[in-house]
Structure 1
Amino acid sequence: MDFQPTEDQRDLRAGVRALLEGRYGREALRAAVDAAAGTGTGTGAAVDRGLWRELGEAGFFALRLPESEGGVGLGLPEAVLVFEEAGRALVPGPLVATHLAAGVVPGAAAGTAVVTAFDLAGDLAGDLVAYLGEADAVLGAAVLPVGEPVRAADPLTPLHRVARPGGAEASASASRSASRSVSVSAYVSEGALLTAALQVGSALRTVELAVRYAGEREQFGQPIGAFQAVKHTCAQMLVRAEVARTAVYAAAVTGDPGEAAAAKLLADGAAVGNARDCLQVHGGMGFTWEADVHLHLKRAWVRAEQWRTAAEAEELLAAELQDSAG
């Protein structure tokens, strides 16, 4: 059995990469980072509405909608390929929530609406919401909640703390939160898998950054990539990323929630671990604002808390093992 991507899938991935390289290359990324950081709170505008519409026109958000509903009519395997490319380019914004909202929230499929979700820290009715200030809708919520800006680790992932009403409104709020959780919970498995694909793209990109720097930086008259310790580090990064990518692709084919949880667990480890190793290869240079490595690490930290955390994935897998043993 051949598990390699088809020619059409490879063309799809190449097309998305070309689009992002032309529209959201390193210069655009750094400009967005500088603009967001320039607010002093790290909560400046992160979503490029023009790029969002271009992604919509390219079918990024409507990829899995049936053609009869104006979509592309593809499946999860194709979706993880395009999300991998978005993760590689560090495209900011609630990509997963907007994709899941296609066909549910008006404008989401076309990219004319930005849709976020209550997906942080595994608490679907939690206090923190990413991109709330730039969103037109929240997946599973009837109205946009009120939020207060919070300083975020990633300059391109602005956070808002949602206000919890008190007094007579408390019971109504609790009822809305419960309803919202039920609504959004239906998307958790797919949301976790697509987020895992973003993490895999980042993990693969940090491998590229580490290998390139190891070939350019010289110590004792030779590139540092010639030293065994650096070689081993880069090799371990590649293995970590490829294992995670294989798990993501397999889960996309089967659609199994347990496999999606395992893929998220592996992808989070790969993205965070590879960013840290990439920093190690870069040495002091990697910790500077000018380098891109820290951006991958910060984004990986945020994504590790979205849709399904490591603890939640472990609990789900443990429960499945217990059920199969019983």
Structure 2
Amino acid sequence: MDFQPTEDQRDLKAGVRDLLAGRYGREALRASVDTGVCVDRGLWRELGEAGFFALRLPEADGGVGLGLAEAVLVFEEAGRALLPGPLVATHLAAGVVPGAAAGTAVVTAFDLGGGLVSHLGEADAVLGAPELPSGSRVRSADPLTPLHRVSPYVPPYDSSYLSSYVSPGALLTAALQVGSAGRTVELAVRYAGEREQFGQPIGAFQAVKHLCARMLVRAEVARTAVYAAAVTADDTEIAAAKLLADEAAVTNARDCLQVHGGMGFTWEADVHLHLKRAWVRAEQWRTAAESEELLAAELLEAAP
């Protein structure tokens, strides 16, 4: 059986990469960081027009009619570009919250636990909540993921919410992590080829080669797990994919910092932005502890 992406899927992925490269390249990313504007409403509408949010909505309901496999490819590219905003929640809200599918509404979610909500100040709705709650701003590790704490907090985690949103939310977040993990491999390899020490590129040194090789293996293993989970839509496989993707994104960003040396820790470099975003995403929709509990329960159930 051939599990390679189809030509249409590859074209979809390439098209999203081209769209984001032209609309949200490095200059736009740094402008977002400098201004603190995380959700560009114009870009949000463009994403809606391109079918980003309505990708899995049935054609009869005005959507594109594709599946999780295609959504994962699209979100991987968004993760690679470090595109900010509640992308996953707005995508999940298509067909539920008016304007979400078209990108005219920004929808966030209670996806961090403990009453924390990302992008609440820029959102028009919160997934699963009857109205937009108020909250107090709290410090975030990522400058492009503003956080608010809602109080009193009543989590919308009934069985319908869990089955409809948490697993696909975890998988799409894992796809964002995979995109970031792959991008930090590219950044590390490029810098290792440009930066010279002792008269040669640092990429010629065995220690740096091994570091980059481990980064590549980590990213590809996570990507394979995420793609497989998108095909099966199995909750246990999604949990495993989220674990691997979170580890790949966080550890690759740290290793990329090591390749860059002191340069990687400067505000002007983009590496620290990947690490900070990876930290936040690792806590969204399904944490490592929650994934491990789910996997352990599955193993116990399968034990003779």
Question: If the length of structure 2 is used for normalisation, what is the TM-score?
Answer: 0.98
CA distance in 1, matches of 2:27, 2:275: 19
| Alignment match, 2:209 | 231
Match of 1:252 among 182, 205, 230: 230
CA distance in 1, matches of 2:71, 2:201: 38
> Structure 1 residue 154 and structure 2 residue 154: aligned?
no
Structure 1 runs, 4 residues or longer, greater than 4 Å off? none
> Structure 1 residue 135 and structure 2 residue 123: aligned?
yes
Residue 183 of structure 2 aligns to which amino acid in structure 1?
R
Unmatched segments (≥5 aa) in structure 2:
none
> Structure 1 residue 96 and structure 2 residue 88: aligned?
yes
SS in 1 for 2:283: coil
Residue 296 of structure 2 aligns to which amino acid in structure 1?
A
CA distance in 1, matches of 2:28, 2:84: 11
SS in 1 for 2:256: helix
SS in 2 for 1:106: coil
1:233-279: per-residue Cα shift (whole Å, max 9, x none)? 00000000000000000000001000000000000000000000000
CA distance in 2, matches of 1:223, 1:86: 31
| Alignment match, 1:292 | 270
CA distance in 1, matches of 2:254, 2:262: 12
| Alignment match, 1:217 | 195
| Alignment match, 1:75 | 67
Note if contact 1:139-1:184 (Cα within 8 Å) is conserved in structure 2: no
SS in 2 for 1:138: strand
Note if contact 1:64-1:76 (Cα within 8 Å) is conserved in structure 2: yes
Q: CA deviation at 1:2?
A: 1.0
1:137-161: per-residue Cα shift (whole Å, max 9, x none)? 0000001111111121100000011
> Structure 1 residue 269 and structure 2 residue 247: aligned?
yes
CA distance in 1, matches of 2:228, 2:157: 28
Q: CA deviation at 1:3?
A: 1.0
> Structure 1 residue 283 and structure 2 residue 271: aligned?
no
Unmatched segments (≥5 aa) in structure 1:
37-44, 165-172
Q: CA deviation at 1:298?
A: 0.1
| Alignment match, 1:181 | 157
1:156-213: per-residue Cα shift (whole Å, max 9, x none)? 000011122xxxxxxxx7xxx25x2215322111000000000000000000000000
Q: CA deviation at 1:113?
A: 0.3
SS in 1 for 2:157: helix
| Alignment match, 1:243 | 221
| Alignment match, 1:302 | 280
| Alignment match, 1:47 | 39
Q: How does 1:18-33 map to 2 (within 5 A)?
A: 18-33=18-33
CA distance in 2, matches of 1:299, 1:48: 18
Q: Percent same amino acid at aligned positions?
A: 84
Residue 14 of structure 1 aligns to which amino acid in structure 2?
A
| Alignment match, 1:41 | none
Residue 19 of structure 1 aligns to which amino acid in structure 2?
L
Note if contact 1:203-1:270 (Cα within 8 Å) is conserved in structure 2: yes
1:1-34: per-residue Cα shift (whole Å, max 9, x none)? 1111000000000000000000000000000001
Residue 55 of structure 2 aligns to which amino acid in structure 1?
L
SS in 2 for 1:63: coil
State how many pairs are aligned. Answer: 302
Match of 2:177 among 174, 190, 199: 199
SS in 2 for 1:92: coil
Question: If the length of structure 1 is used for normalisation, what is the TM-score?
Answer: 0.91
1:94-116: per-residue Cα shift (whole Å, max 9, x none)? 00000000000000000000000
> Structure 1 residue 116 and structure 2 residue 104: aligned?
no
CA distance in 1, matches of 2:57, 2:134: 31
